[in-house]
Structure 1
């Protein structure tokens, strides 16, 4: 019987978040693939388990794939974990999953803690649609390109950031024009010193000028659509466009010799104009001799 690869989410800070089902699956596994054998060794020890562990990380994942496939052919159950959170999501695992699936072996998952989803849930920003960016490139064209893309991304987006790069990332976001965007800064989620700050990008820059930066961060940033809906500039632009649409509508109807009172009433209802606004547009159009002649 062919074996199974099982992806198991591990705690992102609080060990009590590890589910009984996840613990049972670790106990049933023949081998545990992990980013850092020391980290996973501590988790196994806390669960009272003794399991063979094999490192699986960015630097060795390619050469690990064939030995794992061979063990699956022998019918073993192999667990894949990361140091924290869901393996294969901003952590090693995607290549292995693809290779295992391509060979026709079963791939299963034990869901659990996720820093990105936890941060999104507490962000207070739109969760109907969102984008997970993960870590930006530390520097260079790729970083600039991604920030330029995110600036115009319509929906909420999520970044991971290390403490030593937080100020640079905030500064780069502001430089790209995202200073007024709402931002939830989530630090040390599920840990003793968990902190969630609700600021704008510009406010966050000011905040960290006088605040020590410690811990791991998840940044949840307001998307362009949500920002534009609440921005004064957007509301003003919408008002101008609405008035111009109403003006064109009334111009066409008056040119067709329709009753002015009826035109004003219909325009007010259709375009959300006040009676005074509709009357003013009528007067302006009547003064346009080119249109009336």
Structure 2
């Protein structure tokens, strides 16, 4: 969603339909030794419209997403998560370059676990959970010829409901609310190129610092053992991408990013998508 909202800054159109595919890897390390590796693949579809005013413009849209995650636990065992997302977004941009973007969404998660016990035995279970989140970003887009620079501040909040489940061997788990509370400051730089065949290219770079504040995402096992997935702290995120228009109504984008810090390394996060305007 942030890629979509960032791509429409300074662009004139009426209505657009778009799709974006994502593949990302997260390696999580915790003090409690409950680390894991997650590989996520997903697809998001959306539609939005732009409304022009005398000195500003707004964008309003809806989106739906599906993703599948494969998870490997450091203590042994594995799991997967199927996620279904429905959300809405809006953006406001003044002709002087100031802007504000917002996103709200709800999620449904289907979780499956294949655990490995300390004695080597395996057990399995599944449960469902719900989530809701919001994101707001504000910044300024400064344009000088073919170059543009966009410093910004952003805040993200997300939570899921807690769930209890029992594995096939009778082991019980109480999964508390999973929370995200994050602040981010960054800058994006892009360069616009008009090619002789009528297409355009816009390579861009972005660097950001994220501060995660949520530090109490707990799981209790058999009413006694407790694990805390604490990933609070500061991490850096570095992105590079390119946008291109193929025809007056069809365009695409490709990006890749790397992030590290506070117990979470994201060695890759790739996105690719297309946009059709009409």
The alignment's TM-score, normalised by the length of structure 1, stands at 0.22
* Greater percentage in strand: 2
The alignment's TM-score, normalised by the length of structure 2, stands at 0.23
Question: Could you say which structure has the larger radius of gyration?
Answer: 1
